[in-house]
Amino acid sequence: MKRAVTAKDVLILIGVAIAWTLVVMAFSTSMGTRPLRIYDWGPPVFAAVLTLFFMLKDRKSGPDER
């Protein structure tokens, strides 16, 4: 049985994505001073957007047919 995507799920996803992005950026810049590049913050943000898209797409689809 599918579970509905709630606002709590979306907030958890965004919170985890923000936390992970900050961790990646902190490790990327801790080795020396340099400007942030897209490969520092892009993958976690892209993964969060992609996950959110599929969560919402799955929510709009019909009930699970098992």
Mean pLDDT of the chain, nearest integer: 78
Phi, psi of 9, deg, nearest 5: -60, -45
Does the pLDDT of residue 46 top 80, yes or no?
A: yes
Does the pLDDT of residue 27 top 50, yes or no?
A: yes
- Predicted confidence at residue 64, as pLDDT, reads 58
Distance, CA of 58 to CA of 64 (rounded, Å): 10
- Predicted confidence at residue 5, as pLDDT, reads 75
